[in-house]
């Protein structure tokens, strides 16, 4: 972005600047003083520490100006100051102005309890074959990340693909009304954040907020296999299209063939084509269907979408296959976890052939609230000692699953470790795993099973 300070001050309704100050050109924004480059505007946000404390560091880094919250005056700094009621809201106002008035790309907004990042990556890969596309980096999907993504757009951006996350009611409403999407996508409704929402119905209500800013001539694309979405979609007046595995959907997949490093499938809409995605799982086929519907909406030919899906880049820590230091195959999926995703990954993992054993290392699924013990125990239905021979369980709530599995797993095939015993679990696992075994690592990111993964890959075994 490039805007003068005078234009920025007008948009965010900051105090008027002098002609000399207002003529300065801002080349970007940053809320982390360590990521500032000369010519940028600093946005001091309130977090664990108040961002206003870092205004001196922003000046040293070469910032040309800074937002300052009115309740923090007076501020002593050599930087030009734009006084606003709330720096975060000012950044959001500026992002909406830049999006709608300066660049004006088509906007695709994607949310869901699971699969939104993968769907974002697939969608961007398809659209990039025909358009200049910008997508959400990493998981910049909240009230800070979305405006930052918008403000990072180049002026020639034609399509902006935004991932939108939420952990409370109203969050998606704010993001959707900020971005005013042309296409809104919901991948699925799971149990993520059920601690705060209590029921899947309320999660569905919150996810539907992504349609609140949908343009009048926009399109709502959603998982038609989910009754909670079917019911709520009836209230949407814009065009609606669905994807899934059932024939009633706008497009649906069949002939799904899973492999370790890719999954093949066909789509009824294009019966002569076989699609392939470089990741495992029927659930990722469903994500691909959402991306295909978006691509068709943007008039990308199916043969081109086929090639784009076959080579799209998967975001790190999501269903990655790695080789451990003694030669074992490791399926790492340690970025996030909820019961629906956990069962799906265990199912796919158990179907891969191994000359040795299938070993599942499962950590707590967070933010499940009072239902957490029951939801963890419910994973038992996905685990069979004939298919997954050894289970390592880690975390407070995994105790409920350990107690349930004790009825069908021999004691020497079931291992449970509380939160303060990760190092012991890691050592035991290292000593247990053989070169012909296949290992699954799956947990919420807060359990940090990536440290266990590093130990298995790096070695150092007893």
Annotated binding residue 113? yes
Annotated binding residue 332? no
Cα(104)–Cα(306) distance, integer angstroms: 28
Exposure of 159 by Cβ count < 10 A (0-12 exposed, 13-18 middle, 19+ buried)?
Answer: buried
Annotated binding residue 112? yes
Question: What is the torsion angle, in degrees rounded to the nearest 10, for the CA atoms of residue 307, residue 308, residue 311 and residue 316?
Answer: -160
Helices (H) and strands (E) in the chain, counts: 17, 21
Residue carrying structure tokens 């108040």: 50
Maximum distance among all alpha carbons in the chain? 78
- Cα-atom radius of gyration of the chain, to the nearest Å? 24
Annotated binding residue 145? no
Annotated binding residue 454? no
Of 11, 8, 89, 4, the closest CA to residue 44 belongs to: 89
Name, in order, each residue with C-beta under 8 angstroms of 326's C-beta and a sequence gap of 6 or more: 433, 434, 435, 459, 461
Cα dist from 311 to 259, 304, 308, 338, whole Å:
16, 11, 6, 27
**Which phi and psi (to 5°) does residue 438 adopt?**
-125, 130
Q: Are strands 438-442 and 251-258 parallel, antiparallel or unpaired?
A: unpaired
Structure tokens given for 80: 């030009």
Q: What share of the chain is helix, strand, coil (3-state, %, to 5)?
A: 40, 20, 40
Structure tokens given for 193: 């954040």
Annotated binding residue 114? yes
Name, in order, each residue with C-beta under 8 angstroms of 363's C-beta and a sequence gap of 6 or more: 334, 337, 393, 394, 395, 398, 442, 443, 444, 447, 449
CA 387 to chain centre: 30
Of 431, 351, 213, 377, the closest CA to residue 362 belongs to: 377
Annotated binding residue 116? yes
Q: Residues forming the annotated binding site?
A: 112-118
Q: Residues forming the annotated binding site for ATP?
A: 112-118
């Amino acid at each position: 972005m490039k805007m003068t300070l005078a234009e920025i001050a007008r948009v965010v309704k900051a105090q008027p600047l002098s002609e000399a100050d207002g003529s300065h050109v801002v080349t970007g924004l940053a809320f982390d003083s360590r990521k500032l480059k000369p010519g940028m505007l600093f946005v001091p946000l309130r977090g664990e520490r108040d961002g206003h404390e870092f205004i001196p560091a922003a000046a040293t880094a070469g910032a040309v100006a800074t937002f300052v919250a009115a309740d923090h005056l007076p501020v002593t700094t050599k930087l030009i100051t734009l006084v606003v009621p709330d720096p975060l809201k000012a950044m959001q106002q500026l992002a909406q102005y830049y999006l709608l008035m300066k660049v004006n790309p088509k906007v695709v907004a994607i949310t869901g309890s699971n699969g939104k990042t993968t769907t974002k990556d697939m969608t961007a890969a398809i659209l990039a074959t025909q358009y200049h596309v910008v997508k959400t980096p990493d998981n910049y999907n909240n009230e800070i990340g979305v405006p930052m993504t918008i403000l990072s757009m180049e002026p020639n951006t034609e399509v902006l693909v935004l991932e939108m996350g939420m952990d409370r009611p109203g969050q998606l409403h704010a993001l959707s009304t900020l971005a005013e999407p042309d296409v809104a996508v919901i991948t699925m409704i799971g149990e993520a954040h059920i601690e705060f929402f209590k029921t899947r119905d309320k999660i569905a209500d919150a996810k539907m907020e992504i349609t609140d800013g949908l343009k009048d001539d926009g399109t709502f694309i959603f998982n038609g296999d989910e009754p909670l979405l079917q019911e709520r979609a009836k209230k949407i007046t814009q065009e609606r299209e669905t994807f899934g595995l059932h024939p009633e959907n706008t497009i649906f997949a069949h002939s799904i063939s899973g492999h370790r490093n890719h999954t093949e499938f066909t789509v009824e809409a294009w019966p002569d084509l076989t699609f392939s995605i470089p990741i495992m799982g029927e659930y990722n086929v469903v994500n691909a269907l959402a991306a295909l519907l978006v691509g068709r909406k943007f008039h990308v030919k199916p043969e081109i979408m086929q090639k784009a899906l076959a080579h799209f880049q998967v975001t790190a820590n999501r269903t990655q296959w790695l080789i451990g230091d003694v030669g074992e195959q490791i399926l790492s999926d340690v970025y996030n976890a909820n019961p629906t995703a956990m069962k799906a990954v265990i199912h796919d993992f158990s179907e891969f052939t191994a000359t040795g054993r299938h070993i599942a290392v499962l950590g707590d699924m967070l933010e499940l609230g009072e239902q957490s013990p029951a939801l963890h125990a419910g994973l038992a239905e996905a685990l069979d000692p004939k298919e997954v021979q050894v289970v390592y369980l880690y975390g407070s709530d995994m105790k409920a699953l350990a107690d349930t599995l004790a009825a069908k797993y021999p004691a020497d095939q079931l291992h449970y470790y509380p939160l303060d015993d990760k190092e012991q679990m890691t050592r035991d696992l290292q000593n247990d795993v053989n070169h012909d075994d296949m290992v699954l690592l799956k947990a919420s990111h807060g359990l940090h099973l990536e440290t266990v993964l590093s130990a298995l890959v790096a070695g150092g075994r007893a």
